[in-house]
């Protein structure tokens, strides 16, 4: 284990094999494992960046006028995607929000207008944070990276 033991002849030739002392190596590994297990983070935390309507962005980049803006109204009934005068409702599937349909619609819109990066999400007061995060996540998944939150009343 750890290398063959040197076989000494009667002063003739010295063996080239060396014994590796495994004990400190195993000690080091055990200490490392204990430390890493204690400091391990099993839940990866990430962030979703959103802007606010009227926020003081230091580097505002106004979009070209010809690119229509997309807004997503989130209510108890579902989503309504609006761009200019066009409105596309995405109703709830039973009691749950239909995020698959929302992802599909956002993908279609991004496919038709690849320059569209700005989305305004307008949730009602009763919408829970989880639904809001999933809507923002769907927008980011469709590569619409500038997400702005705006309450419908403002």
Partner 1 sequence: MIDPTIPYARTSNHQGIQVPGHRMGPRLRRSKVYGGGSMGKKSGYADLMLTPMVDMFTLLVVYLIQSFSSTGEILHMSKELVMPTAKHGKEMALLPVVTIAGDSIIMEGTTVADISDLMSGNNRDPDWRIPGLEDKLRDLRERYIAIRNNAPAAENPNAGPDPTTSVNIQGDKALPFRILKRVMHTCQLAGYGNIHFAVVQGGDPKGTSGEDLGKLLHAGDEG
Tell me whether residue 22 or residue 93 sits nearer to partner 1 (CB atom): 22
Instruction: Supply the minimum distance, in Å, between the C-beta of residue 93 and partner 1.
Output: 19
Q: Taking a C-beta distance cutoff of 8 angstroms, is the pair 128, 79 a contact?
A: no
109 forms part of the interface with partner 1 (CB under 8 A):
no
Distance CA(25)–CA(73), nearest Å, equals 61
Distance CA(19)–CA(146), nearest Å, equals 62
Distance CA(5)–CA(48), nearest Å, equals 60
98 forms part of the interface with partner 1 (CB under 8 A):
no
Residues 18-37: x/- map of binding to partner 1 (CB under 8 A)?
----x--xx--xx-xx--xx
Q: Exposed, middle or buried: residue 61 (CB in 10 Å: 0-12, 13-18, 19+)?
A: exposed
| Residues in contact with partner 1 by the rule CB under 8 A | 1-2, 22, 25-26, 29-30, 32-33, 36-37, 39-52, 54-58, 123-130, 132-134, 136-137, 140-141, 149, 151
């Amino acid at each position: 284990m750890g290398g063959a033991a040197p076989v000494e002849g009667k002063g003739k030739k010295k063996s080239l094999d060396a014994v590796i002392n495994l004990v400190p190596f195993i000690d080091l590994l055990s200490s490392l494992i204990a430390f890493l297990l204690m400091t391990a983070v099993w839940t990866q935390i990430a962030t979703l960046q959103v802007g606010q309507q009227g926020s003081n962005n230091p580097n505002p980049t106004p979009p070209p006028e010809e690119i229509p803006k997309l807004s997503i109204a989130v209510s108890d009934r579902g989503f309504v995607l609006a761009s200019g005068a066009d409105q596309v409702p995405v109703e709830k599937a039973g009691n749950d929000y239909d995020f698959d349909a929302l992802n599909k619609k956002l993908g279609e819109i991004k496919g038709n207008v690849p320059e569209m990066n700005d989305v305004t999400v307008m949730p009602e007061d009763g919408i829970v944070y989880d639904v809001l995060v999933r809507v923002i996540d769907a927008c980011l998944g469709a590569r619409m990276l500038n997400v702005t939150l705006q309450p419908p009343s403002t």
